Amino acid sequence: MNLIFQNAVLGWLAALVVVPVLIHLFAKARPPRFAFSNVEAIRHIVRETMRLKRPKDWLLLVIRTLLFAALAFLFLRPVLFVQGRLAGSGLQRNLVLVVDRSASMAGSDGGQSRFARACAEAAELLASLSGTDRANLIWLDADPDAVFPEMGANADYLRRQLSEARVSHEAGNPVTALEQAVRLLDTAGGRREICIVSDFQASQWESVAFQFPPGIEVQTLWPSEDTVMNGAMLAIHSDPLVPLVGEPVQVIAEVGNFAAEPRRQVVTIEIGEQRVQREVLVPAWGRAAVSVEYTARDVGPLVLQASLEEDAFGMDDWRGEVVTVRRALRVGLWGHDAKVTPVWRQALQALEWAEPVTVPADDPAVAAECDILLVAGWGGTAPEILRDLRRQGIPMVCVPADGATSEALSVLGGWTNRADGGKVRWETLAEPQTVHVGAPEDAVYRLFRSGEFGDPLEGVFRGRWILPLAGVPGISLARFKDGAEALFRSDGNPGLVFCALPLDPAHGDWTARRGFLPLFGELIMTLRPTQSLAVRPSAVVGDSLLYRAGMVEGEVRLRDRRGGRVLPIVKAAGDADGERYVSEPVVEPGVYEWMVQDQVKAIDVVNFPFTESDLRPLVSAPFGQKGFSAGRATDLNAIHSGIPLWTWLLGAALVLLAMEHALVGWIRRSEHKQMDVA
């Protein structure tokens, strides 16, 4: 601790402390002596009087001494600095406030929200600045921005901004906000301070390891360290992800419980115009799912919605998704192997729910629009292209060609690169072989369990591809009689199946057998992408929405389905696919419709960022031991500006004055009473 006196030039006033002592000593000077005939009675009275008066006099002396001391130090205006923060107290302050307004700040324990408390505390910090100090305010959200382009002196304007601000529905970007704060202080002189006012939500801050430049004082202000118990909708999706008309699908809604006790939740699921409710018990700090079966009757976008009863943190109680109901799956044919591709195309044309799409080798963008990709005659070139398509969520069936290396297969499959030098090679069998089922319980064979469709692998094979798949994690769906792989599905999502079976009649008769087409269809259906892959995710709050259109006749508008509000959009540069329209960043979750001449042309869903649902704060202060951490602005002000003691001294002086007055009155009353007795 350090103590300074702002009016040190008045230090001579401290000498006033001796005044009560001098008065006391003067009042105790020996009185003159007088002669009396008999003084026994007087001595008795003096003894009785002094027995009571001396203690009173000493107490009065102490009170008067403390009173004069308090008054003397009051004029000296002492300031107490805690934690040794005396250095730099006379310099200009440059304060950057980073105020968190990400979605978690809307949490409330029944009183004020975290954001309201944060703004109030930040305003109090600004109120402590002097007229020569400089300040700025950065809002911490998905796209942090400062109120002023540089440090400014108008703290009152910043306080008005704090009083008018509203919490966002977005996740925060702490690193970008801190980088902006450091840039604002680059050229500042005097004391340079950054104060972060946040709930320090663990999911947002625990991975932040920001290095502050030397000379910048870091302060953290936690308006609330309480954990708000919260239930949240985490996801809603269909299984399969791309439903077909007339196909029963499961609509699955996932609920999270961010609380220390299990919670029973009622989930309302809306599928188009259908509305159902399901009840589920969600474990503490866990998640649970409910499902509803639904059969789509129409082709086109289908909006899925799930909601909970509103709780203390209602932002994440709704979630939506748009799935596209199709009449047929788009199955891409990549590569041209004269012995494989025609067989695949003919089989797809025989399946009413499949639409074959030719994918040019030089245009992988066409493949990105397919649901499944069949790759024929791939020699291992440019495996990164196919790998990236898989990462976008497109499952594949691959028949490699002679010479494809194990390294190329590893890139495609996403396995640890195996530099074993193995290659795919074609082998003509001296003796025809049969193939048997390798995993009879797998879903791909579900249709054949009754025996109605015969043996799915019936046939004779006179040739095969030898695949270098030793050690690859996955399931052997079919094997040749000698144990070589015939159909192999690697682990992971989306699915990837390697086929070593010949499809041309010259090397086998499997394609002419009864079980070929059903197995081919089941292989495609079971490979369809699932929502656990998180393919083509919906937008989250803070994203802009994009609409691609051909030749548009009429005005294009973006409308919030719930409230009918029209959002601002801009027409971006067009391309070969037509015109592009982009919205401003969307600030609220909901269902949004692209309208052309009052007709809905496309639907987008904007969801709450689920990372904001876990409202638990950090268990320890961020940035290690650097800087100061407090729960209230008054605590930080005391650290940096000191604690003025004059108010305490004035209060003490008033109390001592009242005590002195009461004690003097009591002494006088006691003396008068003794005189009356005498």
Host H or E run for residue 390:
helix 383-391
Per-residue pLDDT at 554 exceeds 90? no
Mean predicted confidence (pLDDT) in 616-626: 73
Q: Tell me, what DSSP letter sits at residue 246?
A: T
Are 506 and 388 part of one and the same domain? yes
DSSP-derived secondary structure letter, 325: E
pTM beyond 0.75: the answer is no
Report the 3 state secondary structure along 495-556: CEEEECCCCCHHHECHHHCCCHHHHHHHHHHHCCCCHHHCCCCCEECCCCCEEEECCCCCCE
Average pLDDT on 550-563 reads: 81
Give the pLDDT confidence score for residue 91 in this predicted structure: 80
Q: Is residue 258 part of a domain?
A: yes
Q: What are the structure tokens assigned to 422, written together?
A: 């193995």
Q: Rounded CA gap, 107 and 411, in Å?
A: 45
User: Which range, of 153-157, 165-169, 405-409, 413-417, averages the lowest pLDDT?
Assistant: 413-417
Are 187 and 315 in a shared domain? no
Q: Are residues 587 and 492 in the same domain?
A: no
Model pLDDT, residue 76 = 65
Do residue 51 and residue 119 come from a single domain? no
d(CA 526, CA 224): 50
Q: State residue 641's pLDDT score.
A: 60
Q: Strand, helix or coil at 441?
A: coil
Q: Which helix (H) or strand (E) holds 76?
A: helix 40-76
Q: Is residue 113 part of a domain?
A: yes
Q: What pLDDT score does 221 carry?
A: 87
327: pLDDT strictly greater than 60: yes
Q: In terms of domains, do 503 and 354 share one?
A: yes
504 domain-assigned: yes
Whether 676 maps to a domain, the answer reads: no
Q: 547 with 492, same domain?
A: no
318 exposure class (CB count in 10 Å sphere: 0-12, 13-18, 19+):
buried
Q: In terms of domains, do 318 and 337 share one?
A: no
Q: Comparing 48-52, 174-178, 185-189, 505-509, which segment has the lowest mean pLDDT?
A: 48-52
Domain of residue 574, residue span? 539-607
Q: Is the pLDDT of residue 317 over 90?
A: yes
Domain match, 488 and 524 both: yes
Final residue belonging to a domain, choices 61, 82, 103: 82
First to last CA, the chain: 57
The CATH number that applies at residue 459 is 3.40.50.880
Query: For the domain that residue 205 is a member of, what is the CATH number?
Result: 3.40.50.410
Residue 532 has pLDDT above 50, yes or no: no
User: Would you state the pLDDT for residue 520?
Assistant: 96
Residues 398 and 436 in one domain: yes
User: Is it the case that residue 383 has pLDDT exceeding 70?
Assistant: yes
**CB-CB neighbours of 576 under 10 Å:** 4
Domain boundary among 280, 307, 326: 326
Tokens linked to 497: 């199946």
Beta strand 216-221 with 191-197: parallel, antiparallel or unpaired? parallel
Q: Is residue 333 one of the residues assigned to a domain?
A: yes
Percent of the chain residues topping a pLDDT of 90: 50
pLDDT at 477: 96
With residue 557 as reference, give the H or E element that holds it: strand 556-560
Residue 654 domain flag: no
* 271, 291: one domain: yes
Instruction: Report residue 460's pLDDT band, with 50, 70 and 90 as the boundaries.
Output: very high
Is the predicted pLDDT of residue 83 greater than 60, yes or no? Answer: no
* Other beta carbons within 10 Å of 84: 9
Q: What is the CATH number of the domain that holds 573?
A: 2.60.40
pLDDT digits (tens, 9 = 90+) for 391-411: 888 999 999 998 999 899 999
pLDDT at 87 over 50: no
With 90 as the cut, is the pLDDT of residue 470 above it?
A: no
Domain membership flag for residue 651: no
Is pLDDT at 43 greater than 80 in this prediction?
no
Whether the per-residue pLDDT at 275 is higher than 60: the answer is yes
- Residue 444's contacts (CB-CB under 8 Å, 6 or more residues apart) are 477, 519, 522, 523, 526
pLDDT of the residue at 534: 41
- Asked if residue 533 has pLDDT above 50, the reply is no
pLDDT at 606 over 90: yes
Q: What are phi and psi of 649, to 5 degrees?
A: -65, -40
Query: If DSSP states are collapsed to H, E and C, what string results for 41-68?
Result: HHHHHHHHHHHHHHHHHHHHHHHHHHHH
**What's the rounded Cα separation, in Å, for the pair 185 and 136?**
10
User: Quick one: 375 and 334 in the same domain?
Assistant: yes
The domain boundary residue, chosen from 607, 628, 662: 607
Predicted pLDDT at 529: 73
User: Prior bond to 223 cis, omega within 30?
Assistant: no
pLDDT digits (tens, 9 = 90+) for 213-252: 988 988 888 877 667 789 999 999 998 888 999 999 999 9
Distance CA 93, CA 132 (A): 8
Tally of CB atoms within 10 A around 112:
14
Q: Report the number of distinct structural domains present in the chain.
A: 5
Are 346 and 452 in the same domain?
A: yes
Q: What is the pLDDT of residue 332?
A: 95
| Lowest pLDDT segment from 38-47, 358-367, 573-582 | 38-47
Q: Quick check: is 223 in a domain? A: yes
